[in-house]
Amino acid sequence: MSPRLIKRDAAEAILRQNGWLSYQPEAFQKEVLRRSVLVHFEPGELIFDFGDELGGIHGLVSGVTTINTAPPDHVPQLINVGAPGAWAGEGCFLARQPRSVQIRALVETWLMYLPLEQMDEMADADPMVAHNFGQIIMTNVDALIRVIHDLQRVDPDRRIASVLQRARWIGEHPLPLTQSEIGTMARASRRQVNAALKRFADYGWLKTGYRSVTILNPEKLRLFSTEDD
């Protein structure tokens, strides 16, 4: 089956309106997009892996990416999913070190890719560009803080609700996550996930499908996920 095509101008508009690039200066936005290439990944395809050689940054245009990480010599674990406007891969530019996380397409996914050599050319022309690229890591640190905060919740139902709330950043479509994947992100057993999803469905907050969850009442889910244990 041929991939669902996305027009270049539509892809650029998504990145201009969401995430890190949206709050950068207009001239910088234009230069990043001018130097970037639009790339496509099939479901399950690896975008980059632990230890991969130096490369550039990827900005998520459409689809879903899984973010997997672990300490050295441990098996990568799913910790979060990417949202349109999210960028990843800045470590190679900032630290000149190989990839330290694994990013994989969960469904058909389109990304904008800015090669490392293009980033270097921009920084050579204007040293302040390094400051702009450095802000990517701060947005990713903010996301990691949210993940850590959610995992510290005592009540597994609230951890599960928090995962669904974070994952809903991918848009209004069904979340293509299995109960096992939700459990991994929420530090919960599959039995706990199954029970929580049933309760949430009974409340009218969501409905479950085959390997997916559709959020029906995001505000109720958000309020529950942010309440004290």
Please, how many CA atoms are within 13 Å of residue 90, restricted to the half-sphere of its CB? 19
Question: CA 103 to CA 116: how far, in whole Å?
Answer: 17
Q: What is the pLDDT of residues 114-169, one digit of tens each?
A: 999 999 999 999 999 999 999 999 988 888 898 899 999 999 999 999 999 887 65
Residues lower than pLDDT 70 in the chain = 1-3, 168-172, 229
Question: CA 25 to CA 133: how far, in whole Å?
Answer: 12
Q: How much is the pLDDT for 144?
A: 87
Q: How much is the pLDDT for 79?
A: 87
Q: Is the pTM of this model over 0.95?
A: no
Q: How much is the pLDDT for 29?
A: 97
Q: How much is the pLDDT for 209?
A: 86
Superfamily of domain 8-149: Jelly Rolls (2.60.120.10)
Please, how many CA atoms are within 13 Å of residue 172, restricted to the half-sphere of its CB? 0
Q: How much is the pLDDT for 193?
A: 96
**Number of neighbours of residue 104 by Cβ within 10 angstroms:** 21
Q: How much is the pLDDT for 168?
A: 64
Q: How much is the pLDDT for 3?
A: 61
Q: Are 70 and 76 in contact (CB under 8 A)?
A: yes
Question: CA 48 to CA 109: how far, in whole Å?
Answer: 14
Q: How much is the pLDDT for 171?
A: 54
Q: How much is the pLDDT for 226?
A: 86
Q: Are 135 and 29 in contact (CB under 8 A)?
A: no
Where are the chain's structural domains? Answer: 8-149, 155-226
CATH of domain 155-226: 1.10.10.10
Q: How much is the pLDDT for 205?
A: 93
Q: How much is the pLDDT for 135?
A: 94
Q: How much is the pLDDT for 169?
A: 56
